[in-house]
Amino acid sequence: MKVSVGDVVLPGDYCEEISAAGEKSKVIVGPGLQKESNHVYVTKAGVLKKKNPNTYWVDYYQKRYTPARGENVIGIVIQKAGDIYRVDLGSSMSAALSYLSFEGATKKNRPNVQIGDVVYAKTLVGSKDMEPELVCVDSYGKKGRLGVLTDGFLFKCSINLIRKILNPSCPLLDSLKNEWPFELAAGMNGRIWIKAKTMRETIALGNAILGAEYLSDEEIKAMCANIASILAGHVA
Amino acid sequence: MRDVYISHCEKDFLQKIVTGGRRLDGRNYNESRKLNISFGSEYGSCIVSLGETKVLSQVSCEVVQPKQIRPNEGILFINLEITPIAGQQFEANRQTDLTVYLNRLLEKCYKDSKCIDLESLCIVVEEKVWSLRVDLKVLNHEGNLIECASIATLTSLAHFKRPDVTRSGDKVIIHTLAEKDPIPTVLYHYPVCLTFAIFNDLLISDPNFLEESVCMSNMDEGGNRGGILVVGMNQYKELCLLDLTGAAIDNSNIVHRALLVAADRCKELVDLVKSTIVDDDTARQKRVKKNFSDIITTEHMLSLNKKDLSICLKNYNVEDIQSPQDEEMEDEDVKPEPSKYDVVPSLPQTAEIVAQKGASTWIEISSGSEED
């Protein structure tokens, strides 16, 4: 079926708008779209979106992660094998994280990472079918925010929710940060690590994040206020 | 089946929170998740959801030759399958330890407890008997599969009706539903399996996936700190099945406590199952069309915004949140108030707490605040 931007689309639909735009200038075809002979076909069920000038993609609901290059992800170390750690990202394959891709690590000076630890890392190599490769340093060899995450709590959520809370226009984190202090790391693989002073605050934080998934901006603000009042004990 | 990895921080946090007297999703120790039973268009098909754990069940029947040793008894066969739809750790068409274990438990609970009158399934002795087959498909695995699966088995067995037969000489006529009213299955008693997770000395009913996994890993690490206890009981508080692992084996105290909790819960569950079946029957008699599409109502589509969050405060209630109508509230949010904790981005997409001066006085929680 022929569809246009903003429609709910299903796999097999095609969009002539994209092909037409492609004749005039270069077009970026994002996730959920595939070029096949003379049409651009939809391969996922979702909403067709466009960003000016010429970027198209399908916004679809997904829980399973397909690795992509340059994304910040949270993984669990599951094995030490030779000179790499195996890290579970929730994708089809476990990822490889070299001993040497930590800040200040050398062959002699190995980082202290145990099996079962949670690492916040960046994907260096990531594609649908290949083993992803992770690093915990940037291109200058600095760790920045990456590395092992200690304490706190890790939970899973849909990938859409991650995108939603990381969106600069989303009021969730802005509202929460005024209520109580916390640390948070959001991995694009659908995992969120949170840490607050007390367990109750940590749970409240997780509650607020998970609860925000299907709420509008206004509702999110109301929910944050509600949770904060529960936390403060105003609501019996 | 691929392994599910649980990180140290999840384990430690859960461990701490349970010993602290709470649960991750805000339930009490003895509280179960929300149970929902919906029926399909045919007799004996239902979907049972316990929180986010969902099991589809279908009973079918056929005429077969009875077993040599039991010539006047029908046959009951229970088959549970877990496919990748239930969770990404499962593989298609492969028997895992989990499926074998669950099948065995269900068989113990429903076949060995003799809850079904198998003799009533006999048509001609040594020649023809009804064979009932219960097919269970796990649609989503969020912990406590056995409880969900057992409720599904019980509901679909109790809901099922087999076609009526008449014998004339050597001939056996199986009547269609239009010709003669179908016959319900005879159940002597209604057994249900319940799961308890054991943390040190604490008993937790209806554990979710994380609680279950942490319990299992505690058990694997040795020591008698964790374990899973499965109790099968009927509405008369008679024990039908007991499956002990880990700490439950050498601590009879825990088992006794679990049995007391299970007795009440089983009664409750069986009453619920019976009443939903009665409701469904009266609806069917009024020729109300029923099928699984009823599950997909507008409310249900919106219920994608899960009512049971996996991480939840005790007093949190989705209905409490309404879009702010009064402008006062909005002002409050929009104004960049001077916050107690200045959170400034030090790197792109990160934030850091810079000032944490003194003890905070405006959140009173540290005093072990148990709300009721």
Taking CA atoms, A198 is separated from A195, B317, B341, B346, B352, in Å, by 8, 21, 16, 24, 18
Distance of CA B61 to the CA centre of its chain: 25
Phi, psi of B288 (to 5 degrees): -80, 125
Nearest CA in chain B to A213: B305
Tokens coding B326: 């009064």
Three-state SS across chain B?
CCCCCCCHHHHHHHHHHHHCCCCCCCCCCCCCCCEEEEECCCCCEEEEEECCEEEEEEEEEEEECCCCCCCCCCEEEEEEEECHHHCCCCCCCCCCHHHHHHHHHHHHHHHHCCCECHHHHEEECCCEEEEEEEEEEEEECCCCHHHHHHHHHHHHHHHCEECCEEEECCEEEECCCCCCCCEECCECCCCEEEEEEEECCEEEECCCHHHHHHHHHHHHCCCCCEEEEEEEECCCCCEEEEEECHHHCCCHHHHHHHHHHHHHHHHHHHHHHHHHHHHHHHHHHCCCCCCHHHHCCHHHHHCCCCCCCCCCCCCCCHHHCCCCCCHHHHHHHHCCCCCCCCEECCCCCCCEECCCCCCCCCCCCCCCCCCC
Are B364 and A230 within 8 A, CB to CB? Answer: no
CATH number, domain with residue A30: 2.40.50.100
CATH of the domain at A185: 3.30.1370.10
Give the separation between CA A104 and CA B57, rounded to whole angstroms: 56
Regarding whether A227 and A163 lie in a shared domain, the answer is: yes
Q: What is the pLDDT of residue B333?
A: 40
User: Which letter, b or e, does each residue of B57-79 get, where b requires 16 or more Cβ atoms within 10 Å of its Cβ?
Assistant: bbbbbebeebeeeeeebbbbebe
CA distance A127 to A214: 29
Using CA atoms, how far apart are residues A48 and A33, in angstroms rounded to an integer? 9
CB contact (8 A) between residue B309 and residue A211:
yes
Q: How far is B294 from chain A (nearest CA, A)?
A: 22
Same domain, A182 and A221: yes
Nearest residue, CB atoms, B315 vs list A202, A215, A235:
A235
Q: DSSP E strands: which ranges in A82-181?
A: 84-88, 95-98, 118-125, 133-135, 147-149, 153-156
Q: Is the dihedral of CA B251, B252, B253, B258 positive or negative?
A: positive
Q: Is B22 in Cβ contact with A199 (below 8 Å)?
A: yes
Q: How far is B34 from chain A (nearest CA, A)?
A: 18
**A201 near B CB under 8 A:** yes
Task: Report how far residue B274's alpha carbon sits from residue B65's, in angstroms, rounded to the nearest whole number.
Answer: 32
Give the one of A152, A155, A219 whose C-beta lies nearest to B321's C-beta. A219
Residue of A nearest to B357 (CA): A181
Q: Does A8 touch chain B (CB under 8 A)?
A: no
Task: State the CB neighbour count (10 A cutoff) for residue B162.
Answer: 22
Q: Does ipTM exceed 0.85?
A: yes
Q: Are residues A174 and A222 in the same domain?
A: yes
- The candidate with the shortest Cα–Cα distance to A90, out of A166, A162, A182, is A162
User: Residue B8 is nearest to which of A116, A213, A226, comparing CB atoms?
Assistant: A116
Q: Which residues of B touch A231 (CB under 8 A)?
A: 313, 363, 365
Task: Decide if A216 touches B, using CB distance below 8 A.
Answer: yes
CA distance B72 to A193: 60
Q: pLDDT band at A211, cuts 50/70/90?
A: confident
A76 close contact with B: CB closer than 8 A: yes
Mutate to test the interface with A, among B2, B4, B5, B372 (most CBs of A within 10 A): B5
Question: What CATH number does the domain containing A144 carry?
Answer: 2.40.50.140
Place of tokens 């040497």: A100
Q: How far is B143 from chain A (nearest CA, A)?
A: 15
pLDDT of residue B315: 67
* Strand ranges for A126-175 from DSSP E: 133-135, 147-149, 153-156
Residue A55, CA distances (Å) to A29, A34, A51, A105, B3 in order: 6, 13, 5, 40, 39
For residue B302, the chain A residues in CB contact (below 8 A) are: 214
Residue type, B16: K
Kindly state which CATH superfamily the domain B8-302 is placed in. Answer: GHMP Kinase, N-terminal domain (3.30.230.70)
Query: For the segment A26-85, what is each residue's pLDDT rounded down to a tens digit?
Result: 888 888 888 888 888 899 998 888 888 888 889 888 888 999 999 999 999 999 988 899
Residue A37 DSSP label: T
For residue A167, is it within any domain? yes
Mean pLDDT per 10-residue interval, chain B, length 372 residues: 84 89 85 88 90 91 92 92 89 88 92 90 90 93 92 94 88 87 90 90 89 85 78 90 84 88 92 93 86 69 55 67 44 42 54 47 48 46
Domain that holds residue A135: 72-149
What does the alpha-carbon distance between residue A170 and residue A216 come to, in Å, rounded to a whole number? Answer: 9
- Closest residue to A232, CB basis, from B337, B351, B362: B362
Q: State the pLDDT confidence band at A86, using cuts at 50, 70 and 90.
A: very high
Say whether B316 and A230 touch across the interface (CB within 8 A): yes
In this predicted model, what pLDDT tens digit does every residue of A7-21 receive, in sequence order? 899 998 888 888 888
Chain A, 151 to 170: residues with Cβ < 8 Å from chain B are 151-155, 166
Q: Last residue of a domain, which of A111, A134, A149?
A: A149
Contact B204, B196 (CB under 8 A): yes
Q: Look-up: residue for tokens 């239009």? A: B178
pLDDT at B92: 86
Residue A234 and residue A227: Cα distance in Å, rounded?
Answer: 10
Whether cis (ω within 30° of 0) applies to the bond prior to A53 is yes
- Using alpha carbons, select from B208, B201, B195 the residue that is nearest to residue B23: B208
Q: Do B349 and A166 touch (CB under 8 A)?
A: yes
In a shared domain, residues A79 and A145: yes
Per DSSP, the three-state class of A206 is helix
Residue A154 and residue B7: Cβ atoms within 8 Å?
Answer: yes
Task: Tell me which chain B residues have a C-beta less than 8 angstroms from the C-beta of A72.
Answer: 349
Please name the member of B318, B339, B347 whose beta carbon is closest to the beta carbon of A178.
B339
In a domain, A1, yes or no: no
The verdict on A227 touching B (C-beta cutoff 8 Å) is yes
CA distances from B206 to B18, B32, B144, B151 (A): 14, 5, 6, 13
- A59: part of which helix (H) or strand (E)? strand A55-59
Q: Which two tokens stand for residue A174?
A: 């802005």
Contact A64 B366 (CB under 8 A): no
Q: Hey, are the CB atoms on A222 and B321 less than 8 Å from each other? A: yes
Which residue from A minimizes the CA distance to B322? A219
Question: What are the domain boundaries of chain B?
Answer: 8-302
From the list B88, B305, B364, the residue facing A213 with the nearest CB is: B305
Do B193 and B109 meet the contact criterion of CB atoms below 8 Å apart? Answer: yes
Rounded CA gap, B184 and B132, in Å?
12
Looking at the 3D structure of chain A, how many domains does it have? 3
Whole-angstrom Cα distance, residue B55 to residue A21?
47
Taking CA–CA distances from A180, the nearest residue in chain B reads B341
In chain B, the residue whose alpha carbon lies closest to the alpha carbon of A75 is B7
* A119 and A172 co-located in one domain: no
Residue type, B132: L
Which among A196, A185, A184 has a CA at the least distance from the CA of A231? A196
Secondary structure of residue A235 in the 3-state scheme: coil
The whole-angstrom distance between A47's CA and the closest CA on chain B is 17
Task: Choose the closest CB to B337 out of A166, A178, A223.
Answer: A178
Q: In what order do the strands lie in the sheet with A55-59?
A: A8-9, A46-51, A55-59, A28-29
What is the gyration radius of the CA atoms in chain A, in angstroms?
21
